[in-house]
């Protein structure tokens, strides 16, 4: 059996998925009760409470290195 990453994990599919999420006004994100239960059991973590300026700062960084710098700053908080 081949274990090559399936097409939905390839960068092009990823970008498409990301764009859809960013445009989520057209594709509403909906959490069903069953999904909420799974989230709370297997993914729940305390929110970080990033502010709008911090997020804008991250998104304004164009290079991966600059984005990585931002991440390292957050790690220190």
Partner 1 sequence: MPEQPYVKLMLQVLAQSRVEHYQNENLLQLTLWLTYRVLDINPRCAEAYLVLAYFFCLLGESDRAYRVLLHHVQAYRIPHTGIDAFLTLLSPQSSLEAVTLTPAEVSEGLPSLQDTLQRFARVPAVPFAHNVQVASPALSRLAELVKGMEA
Q: Collapse the DSSP code of 47 into the 3-class scheme (helix H, G, I; strand E, B; otherwise coil) and give the result.
A: coil
Site size for partner 1 (CB under 8 A): 41
Is residue 66 a contact residue for partner 1 (CB under 8 A)? no
Q: Which of 40, 42, 69, 43 is nearest to 54 (CA)?
A: 69
Q: Is 69 in the site for partner 1 (CB under 8 A)?
A: no
Q: Which is nearer to partner 1, 59 or 69 (CB)?
A: 59
Binding positions for partner 1, 8-37, rule CB under 8 A? 8-9, 14, 17-18, 20-22, 24, 27, 29-32, 34-35
- Measured CA to CA, the distance from residue 24 to residue 67 in angstroms comes to 23
């Amino acid at each position: 059996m081949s274990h090559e990453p399936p097409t939905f994990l390839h960068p092009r599919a990823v970008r498409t998925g990301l764009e859809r999420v960013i445009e989520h006004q057209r594709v509403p994100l909906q959490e069903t009760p069953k999904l909420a239960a799974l989230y709370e059991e297997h993914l729940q973590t305390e929110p970080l409470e990033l502010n709008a300026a911090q997020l804008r700062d991250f998104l304004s960084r164009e290079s991966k290195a600059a984005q990585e710098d931002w991440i390292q700053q957050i790690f220190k908080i």
